Amino acid sequence: MDRSDTKMRRFDSPAFLIIYFLRGSAGLFLLSMVFASAVSFLDMVLPRIISFTVDSVIADKAPDLPASVLACLERIGGVPRLREAPVLIAVIVIAVALAAAVCRFLFRCLNEMAAQRFVKRMRDNLYGKIQRLPYAWHGANSTGDIIQRCTSDVETIKVFVSEQLTSLVRVIVLIALAVRFMAGIDGTMTAAASLFIPVVIGYSLFFYAKIGDAFEKADSEEGRLSAIAQENLTGVRVVRAFGREQYERKRFEKQNEYYTGFWIRLMRILSLNWVTGDVMTGLQYLLVNVMGAVFCVNGRITAGQFIAFVSYNSLLIWPVRMLGRVISEMSKAGISLDRLRYIMNAEEEREPEGALTPPMDRDIRFEHVSFSYDAAQGGPNDDANDRASGRAEDAAFRNTDGGALNDVSFTIPAGSTVGILGGTGSGKSTLMYLLEKLYPLGEGQGRILIGDTDLSKISNSYVRSQIGMVLQEPYLFSRTIEENIAISSKSFSREEVRRASGTADLIDTIDRFPSGFETFVGERGVTLSGGQKQRTAIAQTLIRRCPVMIFDDSLSAVDAETDARIRASLRKDTEGATVILIAHRITTLMHADQIIVMEKGRVREKGTHEELLAAGGIYRRIYDLQMAGCDTDERQQL
């Protein structure tokens, strides 16, 4: 889908959104309605044939048919011919039935083709839109709820448009034809039968509001249930490791019971709606049959007309009830459309006007940067980079204080290696999110410069193509190791993959796998250990050869010896690149050209390893704590 198609579009009402999604399928829907109308007309013809047969063929009443029909009848010998060969009437009935069957078949085929195109366009647009939404939006909306909107709500809208809305034309045609044919038989009976139409519409409008409120709440609870299921399926190893199966099961069952309760209440409302319809239908049948029988006995109408009227009344009841159902279903579809409008109207991440693409191998300067996730629509805890696939709406995963920055200023010289040390919530990862433009700096929040160019003026996509970032909790896709390593590279060779893997100290591990680089890692890299996943992510970043590389606590899951080997390889393989190392472990940072110590969103100390040790501040205290458990040989190795 062309991005320009929705770039500046805003959908102020559900109707506009449906019209937009109907592009490419509206013609098929209209054509299906034409055949649906033809079915309605042919369904009305059959009772007329039966009435004519009873009154004019079996009895002697003069035919009451349109002139064109009478002319055709005369060509085959008129009523006498039909009395001699009643099989001709059966042939006509079969022909009409076959024509109705063909029209019904074409209606179903065209309607289903249109429905599938309609759903495809909805899915394509929603997926494309979500891909372009800011990182902060994803941080404020849970994955389970987004999936529920893009599946359950899409299906609700599809059913409404393809089944209820497209049937509306057929319903209107049926009502109009039924009333017209019935009026031709007896006006009083037609008026009596028509009295139920406003009654059905009235109670349908009454239930419309009630169903809408209940469905909105049920839809919201389904989103929460989906989020819990999604969290537990993706985090099954953590649940098992901590023996939390019972707790998580009870948590799911509690939400499931709550959700089920809402649906039970909703079904009570729907049942009352359907029962009311049944009562109205029964009363309409009773009234028409009693009146018809009385009028038939009194000679006001013939037996054939009575049979035809009852048939027309039966055909009228279905479209009237269908009209009521369309009104009721509109409430459900309206809620689903509003939930999709929330996504489609969300503000997309935009490139700055006149976006620049300057060289990125320049000094990086943070000048008086202050930032809070409160102002950025929610964000991650400082070191919870993965945050279990976006469970941001859960209070346990939201931290409005941790990660906030307060007047941070420092410079990272081009081509140098800089270490950033700090506790959880100190703001060290937030610095890198800002550098990657995952969160924008607002007015008065300071600025970040690349050389002499303000980061806010540089193209977002260009910045991310030039800055490689390895997270503490990397996300691996359900592909082979080679495909995961080279996922960010448009063209690569096995040699490049092996070189990046060698720097990440991953070659020996891969060679032990029976399938080597073709080993399938499973969902989220479940078949790999934490350290193996981190090293795969490091190789994934190294293969890009970016001028700026960020390693956000990406060696936390490897042992000290492996850490030392990787650091040595990185110093050699990333020569000339600006490297930013974020870690809790001082041994990871001690060989950096400059180390920055963060605490509560502020820069507390800056300097080399030796300078910070000599200063005797926070860095020295952390160093003494971490080195207390190491013997002399281990210290010399580090």
- Same-domain status, 375 and 338: no
User: pLDDT at position 460, please?
Assistant: 92
Q: Are 29 and 111 in contact (CB under 8 A)?
A: yes
Same domain, yes or no: 176 and 226: yes
Residues 368 and 338 in one domain: no
Residue 182, domain member (yes or no)? yes
Q: What pLDDT is recorded for position 637?
A: 47
Angle formed at CA 289 by CA 288 and CA 295, multiple of 5 degrees:
85
Are 93 and 49 contacting, i.e. CB atoms less than 8 angstroms apart? yes
Q: Give exposure, 452-474, as e/b (b: 16+ Cβ within 10 Å).
A: ebebeebbbebbeebbbbbbbbb
- Please check whether residues 504 and 611 belong to one and the same domain: yes
pLDDT of residue 401: 40
Report if residue 359 sits inside a domain: no
Check residue 208 and give its pLDDT: 66
Residue 451 is predicted with a pLDDT of 92
Same-domain pairing of 316 and 436: no
362 φψ region: left (φ > 0), alpha (ψ -120 to 50), beta (else) = beta
Kindly report the CATH number assigned to the domain that includes residue 371: 3.40.50.300
Please report whether residue 356 resides in a domain: no
Kindly give, in sequence order, each residue whose CB lies less than 8 Å from that of residue 568, ignoring residues fewer than 6 positions away.
none
Name 548's bridge partners.
Answer: 467, 578
Last residue of a domain, one of 344, 372, 398: 344
**Domain for residue 202, yes or no?**
yes
Look at residue 124 in the predicted model and tell me its pLDDT: 94
CATH at residue 222: 1.20.1560.10
Indicate whether 328 and 407 sit together in one domain. no
Question: Given 344, 373, 408, which residue is the final one in a domain?
Answer: 344
Residues 424 and 454 in one domain: yes
Provide the b/e sequence for 99-115 (b: ≥16 CB within 10 Å): ebeebbebbeebbeebb
Same domain membership, residue 417 and residue 330:
no
Residue 367: the pLDDT is 94
183 and 321, same domain (yes or no):
yes
| 237 vs 331: CA distance, rounded Å | 41
pLDDT beneath 70: ranges in the chain: 1-8, 62-70, 208-213, 216, 219, 234, 237, 323-325, 328, 374-403, 489-490, 523-526, 556-559, 629-638
Shared-domain flag, residues 37 and 166: yes
When divided into structural domains, the chain yields a total of 2
- Asked whether residue 119 is domain-assigned, the answer is yes
Q: What percent of the residues of the chain are helix, what percent strand, and what percent coil, each to the nearest 5? A: 65, 10, 25
Question: Do 337 and 427 fall into the same domain?
Answer: no
User: What does the block give as tokens for 238?
Assistant: 């953590």
**425 and 303: one domain?**
no
Chosen domain end from 344, 374, 397: 344
- What's the confidence (pLDDT) of residue 290? 87
Residue 275, domain member (yes or no): yes
Which residues form the domain of 192?
A: 3-344
User: Which residue, among 481, 446, 286, has the nearest Cα to 372 in the 3D structure?
Assistant: 446
DSSP string covering 310-343 = HHHHHHHHHHHHHHHHHHHHHHHHHHHHHHHHHH
Residue 576 located in a structural domain:
yes
| pLDDT, tens digit (0-9, with 9 covering 90-100), for 142-178 | 887 888 889 888 998 998 888 877 777 777 777 777 7
Does 357 fall in a domain? no
